[in-house]
Chains A and B, each alone.
Chain A
Amino acid sequence: MSEAIHIGLDPLNTIGNATARVDAVERVTGEAKYSRDFKLPGMLYAQILRSPHPHARIRSIDTSAAEALPGVRAVITGDNASVVWGAGSVSGGRQYNDPTKDATLHRRYIFNNPVRFVGDSVAAVAAIDRHTAEEALALIKVDYEELPFVLEPEAALEPGAPQVWPDGNLCPDFRNNFEPMVSNLGDVEAGFAEADKIYEERYETSFIHNAQMEPRAALAHWEADKLTLYSPTQGISNCRHDTARDLGLQDHQVRIICNYMGGGFGNKNQNQDADLVAATLSKQAGAPVMLEFSRRDDWLGVHGRWPTVQYYKIGAKNDGTVTAIQMRGYSGMGPYRKNSGGISGMDVYACPNRLRSISPVYTNRTTSGNFRAPSEPHGFYGVESMMDEVAYKLGVDPVEFTLKNMRRPTDDQPFTNYSLDEVITTGAEQFDWASRRKTTPGSDEGPIKRGSGFSFMMFRAGVGTSSAIVRVDAQRQYTLFVGVTDIGPGAKTTMGMIAAEELGVPLDQVEVVAGDTDRCPYSVGESGSRTTIQTGYAVMQAAKDLNQQIADSGMPTGSDVLIASATPNPSTDGKTRQCFGAHFVEVEVDTRIGTTRIVKYTTVHESGRIINPTTARDQIRGATLQGIGQALHEDLLYDPASGQPLTTGYYRARHLTHLDIPEIDVTFIEVDDGYGPFGAKTAGEAGIILAPAAMANAISNAIGVRMTSLPISRDKILEAMA
């Protein structure tokens, strides 16, 4: 096996030692129960009918034949089930903000009329088995009046474009103002005036489905007025709160259970329409209901990373100093603005004149939403491709160019720590950047060309609140209660390791109870790379409290227990807290057939102290590979004539397989900045941010043509070389 290199800190007793997951045996024996693996007595199976049209008004729905089919127990449509899905349309991406959800102008229901994309939900059926439910769907007659549709964000803003909503296609912000999101620093016009040269380019990036292996499912079960939902969520506390709000319940009337879930990468945040549909069907049928999404349901009915168009204008001096950065961006949000539509990246430069304007735009494609580092990989691809091009045009090494222009701590904005110089120089050395990159891009003779690219980042690692409870009994068995779910990174194990370290006991003396809102306290949710920092810090504080209780009153005896709980709300004392990273990659492009092969891939990350080297290593490797897939392959293509999606699945979207996988070298520079649990920072999203930019820069370095459109598929390389 290949281990990561760790520089900077020694392992503690538990933390910092390569540790197998506490639930690894369950995961390799099939004992781990995912949402779809539960079966309750009398359970019904449900399916959703989806729109075949990109935009249509429903004149009428006839469900009589479906209701008459033997075995059918409930049929719901917008006519008899008008439930707002609060998290489905959250202006401005303020997904945890109730007032914004209430004020949202463009509200999404579990069934919408008009339907606004191919895959929009129209009706749902619960029946005695899944095949009967499937049969019933085929018997529902929907009379559609087809409407004009629009697929591309720029086209959607043209005068006369088909209107997705009556107010126009520019998404409103969280105050319902129809304005682009603008961030303006300094004076870009002054910056351009100061520049020796001005560079402009248009970049575009594709829709990337989260494509987690576990399709959406939800099992709903009512006992009197209490709803239990077995649902694959990335945050049981938020899922409970959202579900309760949308169904008109109190939080305590909803129980969310999710011990194992098959990935999400951002599309299982909060509650989903599947939860609300299953709960509504279950109420109506008077029986537990298991709603199952097919792979196509999931591809169209959930969401993926928003496609973007980015126009850059950069001013630079001949000595390589950047004087102005301007970006005008368009994000295709589908017909519901589920998340922000952000395009980030330019803020990693110190240049004082920066103007960014982003228009999130409604289209009749499937919904866009959060995917692992929601605003970053496409934005870093755009701005770091642009800067790479500027560096080569000025004859400067892109690494030198970065070290000259990257953001650094200032008196006005100190950092908790800053390791970007060390991260970049370590990576450049390990990769042998100086000899691998082509000083003149595309200079290899012959059809097979090598080149190298580089990208760098800093990314939020802020602290925040969460909760934990820890208990010890007279047998000195510790139980940690945390409201985390393990979506893949290993949260249960990480939380257990932090508790064991602080309590001063071996990990096997700590049982971790997670994934059940009736048993666990609030946790922030597995999104934004926050679990380790926020819930981990709460675990640390609860364990400190318990240690103090034990010191004060001794270990409990008999049937007594000691319990400590903590809900800390730490701050970084006005300092910004960031994780840092740099990726270096060498590729070999066969210009005859347009293929790209990775020769060497080096990653260096500073994510604070690493809690579990094993799982941290694979967070970086896995996220990097996802980013490589984004760079080379993935897209959701639409037929412009019919508005039909064409690549709704792994095969058609050309996801990476075992055969496409290079070695990914991982180095962690470890630092304890005194914040977070033992100095731990963000890791889960860090790897994906850098891969598209590094790959694109490497390909351009190999072939001597700037690649301005993701994915850099074979046809685009052939076109560039033609």
Chain B
Amino acid sequence: MGDKNKADTSLNPKQRSRREFLESAGTTAALASAVPVLGISTAQAQSDIESTAAKTRIQLTVNGSRHSVDVEDRWTLVEVLRDQLDLTGTKIGCDRSECGACTVIMNGKPVYSCSQLAVWADGAQVTTVEGLASGGQLSPVQQAFVENNGPQCGFCTPGQLMTATALLSNNATPNADEVKQALVGNLCRCSNYNAIVEAVVMAGERSGSAV
């Protein structure tokens, strides 16, 4: 299936493996449990307190807008996008680098945002599915998805679109085999694979030949 985690891991010293990340989350749980606290009354349940876990301020640019976000170490990029920035177009299908539903473009490359810690995105340029259309115009690959039934249930669609967009920026007119190679990390359980590949090829033929 190729390299499932498509992030460029060579340059960023802050990156850790998924396993290390999970282990550190477990450590946090152990420390928190060691502190004795009182039980919660139902009255307190109404208050909207936040977690007291330590936070780090990061700066990132998403779809052209700059954001400054205080993130917990254990938060992933997809959590920041969805929960903090309300960009819910990016989906969580597996949260463990299997399915590709959470794919976004980070610094020009498609990455699984479920497997990027938010702190790694400090200073990053991120594009999500909400950033593909501009000025009310769908991008060529979005338009092709509309016409050729790219989405069935639509849950994998944002991820397929992001990987396809990254592909088309490197290879303007990919053939079907090249599309399949590029999109191998984006699963579709409706198994609408044929329609997706046809749509990406069509988008390339239309816009690539016009360049």
Q: Do A and B come from one complex?
A: yes
Q: Given A30-B90, A68-B36, A214-B93, are A263 and B197 also a contact pair (CB < 8 Å)?
A: no
Q: Is the CB of A215 within 8 A of B39?
A: no
One of B91, B191, B202 near A626 (C-beta < 8 A):
B191
Of the listed stretches A70-78, A196-204, A462-470, chain B binds A70-78
One of B4, B29, B92, B147 near A215 (C-beta < 8 A):
B92
Q: B192 contacts the other chain (Cβ, under 8 Å)?
A: yes
Q: Which residue of A lies closest to B144 (CB)?
A: A1
A-B contact count (CB 8 A): 234
Q: Is the CB of A65 within 8 A of B130?
A: no
Q: Which of A24, A42, A74, A615 has most B Cβ within 10 Å? A: A24
Q: Given A20-B147, A139-B33, A263-B190, are A213 and B153 also a contact pair (CB < 8 Å)?
A: yes
Q: Which residue of B lies closest to A260 (CB)?
A: B154
Of the listed stretches B9-17, B47-55, B105-113, B117-125, chain A binds B47-55
One of B29, B149, B154 near A614 (C-beta < 8 A):
B149
In Å, the complex CA distance between A329 and B96 comes to 37
Q: Which of B33, B99, B149, B183 has most A Cβ within 10 Å? A: B149
Q: Given A25-B146, A214-B93, are A657 and B187 also a contact pair (CB < 8 Å)?
A: yes
Q: A528 contacts the other chain (Cβ, under 8 Å)?
A: no
Q: Which residue of B lies closest to A651 (CB)?
A: B98
Q: Is the CB of B29 within 8 A of A135?
A: yes
Q: Is the CB of B153 within 8 A of A212?
A: yes
Q: A31 contacts the other chain (Cβ, under 8 Å)?
A: yes
Q: Which of A29, A33, A70, A132 has most B Cβ within 10 Å? A: A29
Contacts of B185 in A (CB 8 A): 657
Contact with A along B20-36 (1 / 0, CB 8 A): 00000110110011001
In Å, the complex CA distance between A36 and B153 comes to 15
Q: Which residue of B lies closest to A23 (CB)?
A: B154
Contacts of A211 in B (CB 8 A): 189
Contacts of B155 in A (CB 8 A): 34, 212-214, 262-263
In Å, the complex CA distance between A286 and B191 comes to 41
Q: Given A1-B148, A27-B151, A663-B194, are A42 and B46 also a contact pair (CB < 8 Å)?
A: yes
Q: Which of B36, B40, B82, B180 has most A Cβ within 10 Å? A: B40
- The size bracket of the interface on A is 35 or more
Q: B62 contacts the other chain (Cβ, under 8 Å)?
A: no
Q: Is the CB of B161 within 8 A of A488?
A: no
In Å, the complex CA distance between A135 and B32 comes to 8
Q: Which residue of B lies closest to A261 (CB)?
A: B153
Q: Chain A nearest CB: distance from B1 CB in Å?
A: 6
Contacts of A489 in B (CB 8 A): 152
Q: A128 contacts the other chain (Cβ, under 8 Å)?
A: yes
Q: Which residue of B lies closest to A654 (CB)?
A: B1
One of B32, B153, B181, B187 near A655 (C-beta < 8 A):
B187
Interface positions, chain B 155-211, Cβ under 8 Å from A, are 155-158, 161, 179-181, 183-199, 202
Q: Is the CB of B187 within 8 A of A138?
A: no
Contacts of B82 in A (CB 8 A): 37
Q: Chain B nearest CB: distance from A665 CB in Å?
A: 10
Q: Is the CB of A27 within 8 A of B29?
A: no
Q: Is the CB of A615 within 8 A of B156?
A: no
Q: A2 contacts the other chain (Cβ, under 8 Å)?
A: yes
Q: A69 contacts the other chain (Cβ, under 8 Å)?
A: yes
Q: B80 contacts the other chain (Cβ, under 8 Å)?
A: no
One of B1, B40, B189 near A67 (C-beta < 8 A):
B40
Q: A524 contacts the other chain (Cβ, under 8 Å)?
A: no
Contact with B along A1-45 (1 / 0, CB 8 A): 110000000000000000011001101111111101101001000
Q: Is the CB of A29 within 8 A of B89?
A: yes
Contacts of A285 in B (CB 8 A): 42, 45
Contacts of A615 in B (CB 8 A): 149
Contacts of A614 in B (CB 8 A): 148-149
One of B37, B92, B130 near A30 (C-beta < 8 A):
B130
Q: Is the CB of B149 within 8 A of A69?
A: no
Q: A570 contacts the other chain (Cβ, under 8 Å)?
A: no
Q: Given A25-B146, A65-B33, A135-B28, are A618 and B88 also a contact pair (CB < 8 Å)?
A: no
Q: Is the CB of A622 within 8 A of B37?
A: no
Q: B87 contacts the other chain (Cβ, under 8 Å)?
A: yes
Contacts of B152 in A (CB 8 A): 263, 488-490, 618, 622
Q: Is the CB of B37 within 8 A of A213?
A: no
Contact with B along A257-293 (1 / 0, CB 8 A): 0001111010000000000000000000111000000
Q: Given A30-B129, A69-B33, A658-B184, are A128 and B49 also a contact pair (CB < 8 Å)?
A: yes
Q: Chain B nearest CB: distance from A496 CB in Å?
A: 15
One of B42, B49, B94, B95 near A286 (C-beta < 8 A):
B42
Q: A347 contacts the other chain (Cβ, under 8 Å)?
A: no
Q: Is the CB of B98 within 8 A of A659?
A: no
Q: Given A21-B149, A34-B91, A131-B74, are A661 and B98 also a contact pair (CB < 8 Å)?
A: no
In Å, the complex CA distance between A287 and B47 comes to 10
Contacts of A138 in B (CB 8 A): 26, 29, 33
Q: Chain B nearest CB: distance from A32 CB in Å?
A: 6
One of B29, B157, B180 near A134 (C-beta < 8 A):
B29
Q: A664 contacts the other chain (Cβ, under 8 Å)?
A: yes
Q: Chain A nearest CB: distance from B33 CB in Å?
A: 5
Q: Chain B nearest CB: distance from A487 CB in Å?
A: 6
In Å, the complex CA distance between A391 and B143 comes to 49
Contact with A along B68-97 (1 / 0, CB 8 A): 000010110000001100111111111110
Q: Is the CB of A28 within 8 A of B180?
A: no
In Å, the complex CA distance between A71 and B53 comes to 11
Contact with B along A282-315 (1 / 0, CB 8 A): 0001110000001100000000000000000000
Q: Is the CB of A618 within 8 A of B149?
A: yes
Q: Given A1-B199, A488-B153, are A29 and B142 also a contact pair (CB < 8 Å)?
A: yes
Q: Is the CB of A73 within 8 A of B181?
A: no
In Å, the complex CA distance between A691 and B99 comes to 24
Contacts of B181 in A (CB 8 A): 658-659
Q: Which residue of A lies closest to B31 (CB)?
A: A135
Q: Which of A27, A74, A134, A655 has most B Cβ within 10 Å? A: A27
In Å, the complex CA distance between A127 and B93 comes to 22
Q: Is the CB of B190 within 8 A of A68?
A: no
Q: Which of A32, A71, A213, A294 has most B Cβ within 10 Å? A: A213
Q: Is the CB of A213 within 8 A of B142?
A: no
In Å, the complex CA distance between A624 and B37 comes to 56
Contacts of A72 in B (CB 8 A): 40
Q: Which residue of A lies closest to B142 (CB)?
A: A28
Contacts of B46 in A (CB 8 A): 42, 286-287
Q: A187 contacts the other chain (Cβ, under 8 Å)?
A: no
Q: Which of B37, B49, B83, B161 has most A Cβ within 10 Å? A: B37
Q: Chain B nearest CB: distance from A296 CB in Å?
A: 9
A28-B150, A618-B190 known, 13 other contacts, Cβ within 8 Å: A1-B199, A2-B198, A24-B149, A71-B51, A215-B93, A262-B155, A263-B155, A287-B46, A294-B95, A617-B149, A625-B194, A657-B184, A658-B179
18 residue pairs of the A-B complex, CB under 8 angstroms, read A28-B132, A30-B88, A30-B130, A34-B88, A36-B88, A65-B33, A70-B32, A134-B29, A265-B189, A295-B95, A615-B149, A617-B149, A618-B152, A649-B98, A650-B94, A657-B185, A658-B179, A658-B196
